[in-house]
Structure 1
C-alpha cells in the first residue's frame, strides 16, 4: 500500500476539514478523521472517499477515542505515517483572578488541547517510529503572547510547543513540528469577536487587531495554512523537527504550493 496514512483531529470544520480535503483530493493520502461531531461537510467527504477516508466520532479527551482512532488507521490501512493535531477549544475566556473561571475549566481545556495530544502520541508513536513519521501540532501565536483573558488557551498552546521540542529530542526518527497557522477565519475567531469583549474585561485594544482583520477581509482562509500543514505531515524535512514555525515563514515557502 503506497499511499501515506494520516490521522487528522478536529476534522469537522475549519483548518482540520481543509487539511482532510487537501490530503484526499490533492495529495492522494488515506485519512482517519477524528472529530467530536460529524458535520455535513465531513460526511460529504466520507461519502465521496469511502475507501480512503475513515471517520471516528468521539471526544478525544476520552482515552478510548484516541486508541480507537489509531487502531482504525492500522486496521483499515495497516500503517500510520503522520498525525495532525488540530482539535482545540478556546473557552474558558476570563482573567486569571476571575472567580467566574474555575481551575476545573482550565483542566477541561487542557484535557482537549494538550492531554488528548499526549494520549494519542502514546498510542501512535510505536507505529510512527516504524514509518519515520511526521507530527504537526497546530499551535498559535498566542503561545508566545499575553492576550488578557486568554491565559488557558495560550498556556495550552505553549505546552504544545514544549511537547514538540521534547518529542523531537526523544524520538529522533519522528519529525515533530509545532505550527502557527496565522489568524484564520474560523469559529474561534467568531468566538473571540462575540465573546471576548464581555469576558472579564478582555482588553479592548488587544482585540482591535482581530476585529480589524475581519472588517478588512484580511483573515486567512482555512485552506491557506491547511495547504502547508498537509504538505508538512507528508514531507516535512527532518531539520525542522522540534521547531515552532509560522505557516508563512521563509522555511515553509516550498509548502505554499497553490494558495
Structure 2
C-alpha cells in the first residue's frame, strides 16, 4: 500500500528506541527524510540512516535547537511526530507510587515539560513550515489520558493536556491545511514494560513484587480484549497511517488491545 509519503520530510522526537524508532524505520521505508531527536543516539537508530539531533526536549532551549537544526537539514517540515516520553524512569515511578498530596511540584513540572511543553514548543516552532506544506502533527499520547487516576498521575495529566493540544491545532489550523491527530497506545512491549530495570520492574520492587508478577497483575487488571501488549511496530503503523494524507483530524486513535471500553 502506497501511503503517498515518498519525498516528504519528518521530525520524530524520542526516535532512538521503542515506538519512536519503529516510526523512524517505517517512515524511511516510505521514502521520508527523517530527523530523529533524543538525548542520546542508539546503534539501532544509526542503522536507519536518519539524521540524529541530541537534545533535552524537556527544555525550551532543546526544542528550539531541534526545530532550527531540522529546518536547516530538511529545508522544510511536512510531518511532526511528537513521541518523546517517559524520560527518567525514576520520575515515572514517583508518579505511580506517590499520592496527590505527596507528589512534589518538581515532579509535575518535569512531567509537563517533557510530555506537554515539548510538543507545544516544537509545534509552534514548525507550524509556519507545516502551514506552507499543508503538513500534519501526530501527538503520541497514552490511554492514561483517559484513565488518569491509574497513575503515574503526573504523566497521565500531561498526556491529557497533550490530547487537548491536538484538538486546538486541528481547530485553529485546519482551514490552512494542517491536520493534527492523537495516537494513544496502551501497554507496549518496550523497555518500559520489559527491561529488568525499567518502569514496571522498578514499581514492582517498590511494592515488594516480582517484575513478572506485576506484569501479569497489570495485564489482568487492565483487561485487554486481546490479552496481550501491543508491539512498537503495531503502534508505529497507526502513527504513520495517521501522518499520511487523509481527512482525519482532531481525533484520538487508540491502539490498546481493547482496554478502553467506552467510545
TM-score (norm 1): 0.81
1:68 aligns with 2:65: yes
> Counterpart of 2:35?
32
Once the two structures are superposed, what CA deviation does each residue of 1:75-134 show, in whole Å capped at 9, x if it has no partner? 2221110111110116132333453x3111111111100111111011011110001111
Answer with 128-137 or 72-81: which moved more. Answer: 72-81
1:246 aligns with 2:254: yes
Is the contact made by 1:67 and 1:120 (CA closer than 8 Å) also made in structure 2?
yes
Alpha-carbon separation, structure 1, partners of 2:179 and 2:208: 40
Unmatched 5+ stretches in structure 2: 1-5, 258-263
Is the contact made by 1:98 and 1:200 (CA closer than 8 Å) also made in structure 2?
no
User: 3-state SS of the aligned residue for 2:244?
Assistant: helix
Alpha-carbon separation, structure 1, partners of 2:114 and 2:21: 18
> Counterpart of 1:13?
17
Cα 1:209–1:54, aligned 2, differ >3 Å: closer, same or farther?
same
1:229 aligns with 2:226: no
Cα 1:12–1:136, aligned 2, differ >3 Å: closer, same or farther?
same
Alpha-carbon separation, structure 2, partners of 1:36 and 1:211: 34
1:177 aligns with 2:172: no
The offset of 1:167, in angstroms, is 1.1
Cα 1:201–1:150, aligned 2, differ >3 Å: closer, same or farther?
farther
Alpha-carbon separation, structure 2, partners of 1:220 and 1:97: 29
The offset of 1:205, in angstroms, is 9.2
> Counterpart of 1:209?
218
Once the two structures are superposed, what CA deviation does each residue of 1:130-177 show, in whole Å capped at 9, x if it has no partner? 011111101111111044442111111111111111111111121101
Is the contact made by 2:144 and 2:151 (CA closer than 8 Å) also made in structure 1?
no
> Counterpart of 2:45?
42
Cα 1:129–1:200, aligned 2, differ >3 Å: closer, same or farther?
farther
Question: 1:58-207 maps to which residues of 2 (within 5 A)?
Answer: 58-89=55-86, 91=92, 92-93=94-95, 94-97=97-100, 99=102, 101-172=103-174, 173-190=177-194, 191-197=198-204, 199=206
CA RMSD of aligned residues (A): 2.8
Number of aligned residue pairs: 235
Alpha-carbon separation, structure 2, partners of 1:22 and 1:84: 13
The offset of 1:192, in angstroms, is 4.3
Is the contact made by 2:144 and 2:150 (CA closer than 8 Å) also made in structure 1?
no
Q: 1:23 aligns with which of 19, 27, 32?
A: 27
Alpha-carbon separation, structure 2, partners of 1:131 and 1:6: 12
Alpha-carbon separation, structure 1, partners of 2:160 and 2:18: 21
Is the contact made by 2:55 and 2:66 (CA closer than 8 Å) also made in structure 1?
no
Cα 1:146–1:248, aligned 2, differ >3 Å: closer, same or farther?
closer
TM-score (norm 2): 0.80
